[in-house]
Structure 1
Amino acid sequence: MKKNYILFICFILPLLSSSQDRGNIWCFGDSAGIDFNNLNNPIPINTGLRTRGSCASISDTTGNLLFYAGDRTNTAGDYTTLVYNNEHNVMPNGDSIVGEGWYNEIIILPMPENDSIFFLFVISTALGPGGLYYSIINMNADSGRGNVISKNNQLQIFSIVDCLNAIKHGNGRDWWLMFRRYDGTNTTTNNEFYSYLISPNGITNFQMQQVGSLANTGLGQLKFNSTGDRMVFNSFKGTLELFEFDRCTGVISNSQVIFLENSGPPWPARWSSEFSPDGNYLYVCNNPDSTFLYQYDLNSTNISSSQILLWMIPKEIQRNSGGLLKLGPNNKIYFSSVYYNGFFPYPYPDSVYNMYNMNLGVIHFPDSLGTLCDFQPYSFYLGGKRTYWGLPNNPDYDMPALTGSPCDSLTSISDIPISSEAELFVYYASDWQTAFINANKIKGTNYHLEVFDLLGKSIFRESGKMIPPYYTKNLNCAGFAKGMYVVNLVTNKEKITKRFIVQ
């Protein structure tokens, strides 16, 4: 592993409040967007974008849109990214930012311990100037509408795969920015992943890791599961590979190849992937000409053989139409698609509105196997707006700290307020050796469940996403010794505790 100190930035500004609901507004496609603030009834909204792919958006801690960005807005080139304020106007100095019009080039990260400074990171492939760039947005400027105060600052000069992503550090405050090297259109392959740490000290701790299979592709994607301990890389040339990820150190390890990159065409075009909320399944879109949506069982001893075809649309009806998969705040997975009538579909003519480009597909129960996941193509209406291949490249802004881990130096379970309204019920059924855990009136969308014995030893722990105000878990206690146990249920907003006895 190679480590270098690259950049130090320090802003002495107000502390950042906790980041609940920052991902509740999506902005993408042709003026399209979704408001998830009502998790049971997300609604379409209008935006200022007209992008075929790369885009990102961020809200404040109560779910109100702050700003968003997208590239190739009706123009080609290497500097096509525009930054929009929440009034859907381009910010001052928010134009001519690096961006070539791919699909996973852009990401927005808040400056830790700062409530007004944000970073916009953009990568460039071999077809553009190459490298990694950042711009800085100050939301205190322009009467709270924001201003791009610095732009196109170059961190790296080498070309990068279209797979930029980020994941919360285990301390719940900082960020790991992750990307992969691209060697261009030649035949050179690599397995080089790179990262930066985004902390109150700025952009630091540059690392390079060589791990996993060799590949040469400019089109790919990195995705993390809901707990941040697994990562998947998929590519147009066919790679589908799982890794373990350490949120404390940023270390990638234990590669598990599902499919290797093809040695030559035809390419499988593994366009996008997404984990189920519980992390047991992986959904993958292939669009070599026809479009295929697959599910894989990550607990299988042979993941590639567990493949289930959920849906396909033949090229004779829609060619290369499948786009990105993305887990929503409501734990459903959304699937974008483009309308392709034989001509390159960007930008759409003003007359082209139809079921293919005015709706997203939805996987309603992604934690369920096979057809029980209930995928419904073209079922989420965008309110008269249109989609292309892209969906917002927003990280999980609400991912909590790894409570009790060695790197949880910022928060502890005692820092989270004890709820006075939420109720936790635990009933132990000795015949079934199961503790039935149920909570209601609980707030928050991320949870950490942990069970301790009376000596304080952790017996069971689990983290994930939930839809408030309810939580339920059937805990298998077959291996528990007789005695009393303490259940702690912690969300990103509160905690509740209950005891039960195994007899």
Structure 2
Amino acid sequence: MSSDQKRANYWYFSQYAGLDFNAGSPVALTDGALATRDGCSTIADQEGKLLFYTDGVTVWNRLHQPMPNGTDLWGSYSSTQSALIVPKPGSSSLYYIFTTDSQADYPNYRPELHNCACLAYSIVDLSKADGLGEVVEKNTILYAPTTEKIAATLHANGRDVWVVSHQWNSDAFFAYLVTQDGISEQPVISRAGVVHQGRQEANGNARGQMKLSPNGSRLALVMEESGSEVFDFDNSAGTVSRAISILDNALLFAYSGVEFSPNSQLLYFTAVISEVDQPPYLIMQLDLAARTAEAIKQSRVIVGRYVRGIDDLQLGPDGKIYAATYLSDSLGVVEHPNRPGPSCNYRNDGLYLLGRSPNGGLPNFISSYLLPPDPVLEMPNVFTPNGDGYNPRFVPIRRQRVESASLTICNRWGQTLCRTDDLEKGWDGGESPAGVYYWLVRYRGSNGRLATQKGTLTLLR
């Protein structure tokens, strides 16, 4: 696991719920001070040790105490993505907390009041308060009005961070670049997709999650009343383009959560469907690797249903996607989110929270923290299918985060002797005599990256 991934190892969310991923599999926690309806954010250091967390209104330190000056931030308990914590590049102590307010008070927008429907930021300095942190700058407005959507990913340089939000009553995305010099004064503005606006004087379309893919190449969002869209994102320039409307089924409504698979090729979202005699709350999957926009739309498949409500989705450091479910003491879990269709294995009661309720909201992270490391594959250079049971097959010595692979074995004349997609089965040598042979492996990692390895092997009998 990379050091950046460990920054997402602690989660505090909903009604005093928490998770610790440092052991690999999540361990439920009950020591958190956060109780909120929707958005929140948590940050750990590069070793996976908790630093602080927030619901966008209050900031708690690692001892679960409110930080000095750490109250009355301009997020909201009912904002979908109320907060997002971003470390300042090049600093070991400074962190930005970006906040979005609830849209409920947007018609009465006044910048001097808490409810201002704005994107704002505050700054935490962890060198203060004996290393427990203090909020040293609070509620600096970047722009208004905004929706309740906010997401972030690393710049292509691997150091700086793009923070992306969406303007209300507009089709504009605002991307701010966070560098060692601070937050860019002027955002990159992209106009793509539909206008985010209310219906019948309502503002439900301001709600719903927005996510950037783990590899930083895609952006997806849901609008509570109007559906969902997916876009290309350029993590060098900060631009959003090529909108695809992926939900246009009149039976679907009340969209809420969205998340990418670890390999960034599958998209999951939650919605409600008006079907008779069926659980109305759905988790659906789309194949973003489909060749055309229409093919992406047609790839839609239901992978889970629930009778009581499914809200936010969030990819975890363990490569699973977690779903916030209502009236429950467990999180839903997509066990294998890189697998297409029902084979992804969604379970409603996937992770017990020790009596805590997920209640709708999950923490928001820089998406790059959840990108799996590159795959590792190591093949031997000799094997001995001589009947003694020792080293009888040509199989990997080491295999990590390899999702699929194909192995080809050829002799010195270029004749193919073996071709298999089962690396663990490998090659038993068949009737081939002792000698030198050539192998080629093409494989895909759990992060979606393709790789090729080749070499020679010696068969001894």
Q: 1:143 aligns to what SS in structure 2?
A: helix
Instruction: Trace 1:48-447 onto structure 2 (pairs within 5 A).
Output: 48-71=33-56, 81-101=57-77, 102-126=79-103, 127=105, 128-156=115-143, 158-183=144-169, 190-204=170-184, 205-216=186-197, 217-259=205-247, 268-287=253-272, 290-300=280-290, 301=292, 302-314=295-307, 318=308, 321-339=309-327, 356=328, 358-398=329-369, 424-425=378-379, 440=398
Q: One-letter code of the match for 1:66?
A: L
Query: Percent same amino acid at aligned positions?
Result: 28
How far off its partner does 1:221 sit?
2.1
| Alpha-carbon distance between aligned partners in 1 of 2:453 and 2:142, rounded to the nearest angstrom | 49
Q: One-letter code of the match for 2:120?
A: Y
| Alpha-carbon distance between aligned partners in 1 of 2:36 and 2:343, rounded to the nearest angstrom | 33
Which of 15, 19, 29 does residue 30 from structure 1 map onto?
15
How far off its partner does 1:182 sit?
0.8
How far off its partner does 1:313 sit?
3.0
Over 3 Å counting, the alpha-carbon distance change for 1:427 and 1:310 in structure 2 is farther
Q: One-letter code of the match for 1:166?
A: A
| Alpha-carbon distance between aligned partners in 1 of 2:123 and 2:244, rounded to the nearest angstrom | 37
Q: 1:259 aligns to what SS in structure 2?
A: coil
Q: Deviations over 1:14-67 (max 9, x none)?
A: xxx96341011111011111101122x310012111111110000010101000
How far off its partner does 1:385 sit?
1.9
Q: 1:380 aligns to what SS in structure 2?
A: strand
Contact 1:178–1:196, Cα closer than 8 Å, also in 2: yes
How far off its partner does 1:297 sit?
2.2
Contact 2:319–2:372, Cα closer than 8 Å, also in 1: no
How far off its partner does 1:155 sit?
1.6
Q: Deviations over 1:399-429 (max 9, x none)?
A: 78999xxxxxxxxxxxxxxxxxx8732789x
Contact 2:234–2:240, Cα closer than 8 Å, also in 1: yes
| Alpha-carbon distance between aligned partners in 2 of 1:487 and 1:370, rounded to the nearest angstrom | 24
1:500 paired to 2:455: yes
How far off its partner does 1:437 sit?
9.6
How far off its partner does 1:491 sit?
12
Q: 1:227 aligns to what SS in structure 2?
A: coil
Contact 1:169–1:401, Cα closer than 8 Å, also in 2: no
| Alpha-carbon distance between aligned partners in 2 of 1:172 and 1:250, rounded to the nearest angstrom | 14
| Alpha-carbon distance between aligned partners in 1 of 2:404 and 2:39, rounded to the nearest angstrom | 37
Q: Say which one has the larger Rg.
A: 2
| Alpha-carbon distance between aligned partners in 1 of 2:260 and 2:85, rounded to the nearest angstrom | 21
| Alpha-carbon distance between aligned partners in 2 of 1:388 and 1:338, rounded to the nearest angstrom | 5
How far off its partner does 1:253 sit?
1.7
Q: One-letter code of the match for 2:324?
A: S
Over 3 Å counting, the alpha-carbon distance change for 1:242 and 1:89 in structure 2 is same
Q: One-letter code of the match for 2:193?
A: G
| Alpha-carbon distance between aligned partners in 2 of 1:256 and 1:476, rounded to the nearest angstrom | 36
Moved more, 222-231 or 23-32: 222-231
Over 3 Å counting, the alpha-carbon distance change for 1:200 and 1:485 in structure 2 is farther
How far off its partner does 1:175 sit?
0.4
How far off its partner does 1:333 sit?
0.7
Moved more, 326-335 or 367-376: 367-376
| Alpha-carbon distance between aligned partners in 2 of 1:439 and 1:227, rounded to the nearest angstrom | 28
Q: Deviations over 1:223-252 (max 9, x none)?
A: 122211111121112332111111111111
Q: 1:166 aligns to what SS in structure 2?
A: strand
| Alpha-carbon distance between aligned partners in 2 of 1:213 and 1:473, rounded to the nearest angstrom | 37
Where structure 1 has 5 or more consecutive residues not aligned to the other structure, the ranges are 1-16, 72-80, 184-189, 340-355, 404-421, 429-435, 442-468
Over 3 Å counting, the alpha-carbon distance change for 1:425 and 1:180 in structure 2 is same
Q: One-letter code of the match for 2:123?
A: I
Contact 1:424–1:498, Cα closer than 8 Å, also in 2: no
Contact 1:28–1:49, Cα closer than 8 Å, also in 2: yes
How far off its partner does 1:177 sit?
0.6
Where structure 2 has 5 or more consecutive residues not aligned to the other structure, the ranges are 106-114, 198-204, 275-279, 383-393, 415-437
Q: One-letter code of the match for 2:92?
A: D
How far off its partner does 1:488 sit?
12
Contact 1:240–1:257, Cα closer than 8 Å, also in 2: yes
| Alpha-carbon distance between aligned partners in 2 of 1:180 and 1:308, rounded to the nearest angstrom | 28
How far off its partner does 1:213 sit?
2.8
| Alpha-carbon distance between aligned partners in 2 of 1:472 and 1:298, rounded to the nearest angstrom | 17
What is the number of residues matched between the two proteins? 386
TM-score by length of 1: 0.69
| Alpha-carbon distance between aligned partners in 2 of 1:233 and 1:144, rounded to the nearest angstrom | 37
| Alpha-carbon distance between aligned partners in 1 of 2:182 and 2:46, rounded to the nearest angstrom | 21
Q: One-letter code of the match for 1:500?
A: G
